Amino acid sequence: MAYDLLRQLVETPGVPGREERVRELVAEKFSAFGGQISTDAMGSLIAHIPGKGPRLALIAHMDEIGFLVSKIEPQGFVRVMPMGGIDARVFGAQKVMVHGRRDLPGIVGSIPPHLQKKASGPEAKNALPIEESFIDLGLPAEQVLASVRVGDPVTFATDGWENEHAFFAKALDDRVGLFVMLSAVAQAKKLDCDLFLIASTQEEYGLRGAGPAVFATQAEIVLALEGTVASDTPGLKLPPNTLATTQGKGPEIRISDQRMISDRRLVDFLVETAEAAAIPHQLIVKNTGATDAAISQTTGPGVKVCALSVPTRYIHSPMSVVQKRDVQSTIDLVVAVLETVSTINL
């Protein structure tokens, strides 16, 4: 399978509240499916492909973790506020892109070892807090002030790559979910439902966009398509009662997390569908994290939801990695759902 579209998606910047470039790209792809396309007040993109069967919404969020410019120092250094959960330990010395009146590459300033004071104790391992860090654009202050304003978005500017097994990139949470959605709808031979496609906003800033978008569709079933934490790396210790989400074993069918309990009949339908088509999958119970499924579930009179996720290593960092076979398995399962969802016993 070609990954050109996924590359387009991850290379298009969109921090919470500033998803307009991603929205433009996804709207172009939605238009190929026909139906009606609209943008709601929160900026979420909604496509409706009418059909017979249950009202099913597939949702994936457009935003990525990133920053907003919060202050510009007189010398031209740029300070930022994080938008989404970002560990300060992955921020220092990174290449970033400030999306001002023009896109400006820069680096997060760091202190050379020669100039560092030798701390002792726990402080010796602490990263410089993001609020104390700054971005160096390498430009005269007057040029920075002419091109950058408070509120401009900032993203990591790391270059992705792929090999025969894996795809490496920033923003796989959740551009991989959008990729799964678009690929599955394109590949489905029929649609056994009244289908809504939602590209939501501001998921990384409190799951803010999903509720209004799902409410507008009056969906009966919502399937959130995500990139989720792959907890299969060396040295990572999980609680004894927690099963690790592992790469190479197919999508995570999430039964619970910190803010959601999936509808059991929907979970059973996903498992039975996967087993019938010999699609690898993982059943996971956890009490951490949250997705757009949580907000979708409590919208209006309530909605039957589940989260279906591609295991992603190094999530919420400048570079993540997914296994292509997991991506393909997730697409295959969504295709099977689209073609048979009216058989579910709700």
| 36 CB-contact burial (10 Å; exposed 0-12 / middle 13-18 / buried 19+) | exposed
State whether 93 and 221 are in the same domain.
Answer: no
What pLDDT does residue 301 have? 92
What pLDDT does residue 120 have? 61
State whether 234 and 293 are in the same domain.
Answer: yes
Q: Is the pLDDT reported for residue 181 higher than 80?
A: yes
State whether 333 and 229 are in the same domain.
Answer: yes
Residue in this structure with the two tokens 């307009």, named with its chain if needed:
20
Q: Is the pLDDT reported for residue 163 higher than 60?
A: yes
State whether 55 and 77 are in the same domain.
Answer: no
What pLDDT does residue 231 have? 92
CATH number of the domain bearing residue 223: 3.40.630.10
DSSP label at residue 203: G
Full residue range of the structural domain in which residue 239 is found? 4-64+170-343
Q: Is the pLDDT reported for residue 123 higher than 80?
A: no
pTM, full prediction: 0.95
What pLDDT does residue 128 have? 87
CATH number of the domain bearing residue 87: 2.40.30.40
* In-domain check, residue 221: yes
What pLDDT does residue 125 have? 64
Q: Is the pLDDT reported for residue 122 higher than 70?
A: no
The continuous run of DSSP H or E covering 221 comes out as strand 221-229
* In-domain check, residue 137: yes
Q: Which of 19, 64, 203, 204 is catalytic?
A: 203
Query: Of 132, 156, 180, which closes a domain?
Result: 156
More confident residue, 127 or 199: 199
Tokens of 48: 């409706």
211-to-30, 227, 267, 323 alpha-carbon distances in Å = 21, 19, 21, 30
For the chain, what is the domain count? Answer: 2
State whether 52 and 73 are in the same domain.
Answer: no
What pLDDT does residue 116 have? 66
* In-domain check, residue 316: yes
The continuous run of DSSP H or E covering 169 comes out as strand 166-169
Give 280-309 pLDDT, tens digit per residue.
999 999 999 999 999 999 999 999 999 999
- The yes-or-no answer on residue 123 being catalytic is no
What pLDDT does residue 106 have? 98
275-to-156, 189, 193, 268, 323 alpha-carbon distances in Å = 39, 20, 21, 10, 20
